[in-house]
Structure 1
């Protein structure tokens, strides 16, 4: 839908990348590799976005770099639109993850909850198709310019690590996260987990809106 709104798949990919990494700077070939689009198409859309005022450029080490202009008048509105689009894409991503196999536990961390200290972004317990998982992660990287870190454990490995108080596992379990699937808790605990996840998502959305308004 958002592709039709902006009229260009390349432009949408660039907007997602720049608006979710607003402090970063990129040169043309780097962008073409990141979003996997033809360099001429990327260069054309960069020129359009610079003429629009969203991006500014400068020459550094004989390369032309682009980054978001924080003074752009419609920056907050574009961020809000891309954020809503991101939520839709993430829901589709989660739905696809569910279909990868038999999953007993699925948690979104790191990137999904704005926690830069997290060890991973995606934690899965169960049996999944690694080939299909890697394909999904690559599609996500192309869409958002972010390489998600992930860990997959079998159920028996999860229980063993939990029994021996494995440091890595407990860092994950104690981290800020959104639990999507949890077959290890009782129905009552599961309800509490889902309520907590819902509140976390609401808080993140509110925080994103507050940040956009402040900027």
Structure 2
């Protein structure tokens, strides 16, 4: 559905890259390699998004690093749209609904780095998690969001470089 609003596939991939996890930074050549596209196509979209204030750039020696502009007035809105596009809102809703005493829901793997590989890896931590429900949940979520979902259950809280979608302790 978002593809009909954002007709440039490169622009959509850049928005996913930078707005799934606002800490993501990348360089032109790295993006070109990751997307398998020419540097010119990537540069054009980076310039458009930077000119609009959606991305910011920083000089890093001889390279320019791009990242989401967290101070942009529409930052939260864009991030919400991208997360809904990927189905992360539905995923979180389904996990919290009947999983038991969930402490954390952490996005790990490619998607936590802004790479939409079609697979979403999620770690759920907590006590007395409903393990039977988890087996049916993966398939149900995959049908809802049209992406492969791998759920991992842990008893202990984790410290991760992943993206925290929910943390009971922090209240987010």
Correspondence for 1:72:
72
Q: Which has the larger radius of gyration?
A: 1
Q: Among residues 164, 181, 186, which one is paired with 2:135 in the alignment?
A: 181
The separation in 2 between residues aligned to 1:6 and 1:45, in whole angstroms, is 12
Seen in structure 2, the aligned counterparts of structure 1 residues 146 and 26 have a Cα distance that, compared at 3 Å, is: farther
Aligned to 1:114, the other structure's residue is in SS state strand
Aligned to 2:135, the other structure's residue is in SS state strand
Seen in structure 2, the aligned counterparts of structure 1 residues 115 and 17 have a Cα distance that, compared at 3 Å, is: closer
Correspondence for 2:105:
113
Q: Which runs of 4+ in 1 moved over 4 A?
A: 145-150, 171-180
Correspondence for 1:131:
none
Correspondence for 1:45:
45
After TM superposition, the score normalised by the length of structure 2 is 0.56
The separation in 2 between residues aligned to 1:36 and 1:177, in whole angstroms, is 41
- Considering only aligned residues, what root-mean-square deviation do their CA atoms show, in Å? 4.3
The answer to whether the Cα contact below 8 Å between 1:34 and 1:142 also exists between their aligned partners in 2 is: no
Aligned residues: 128
Structure 2: gaps spanning 5 or more residues: 92-103, 137-164
**Hey, which of these two has a bigger chunk of strand by percent?**
2
After TM superposition, the score normalised by the length of structure 1 is 0.46
Per-residue deviation, 1:76 = 1.0
Seen in structure 2, the aligned counterparts of structure 1 residues 142 and 34 have a Cα distance that, compared at 3 Å, is: farther
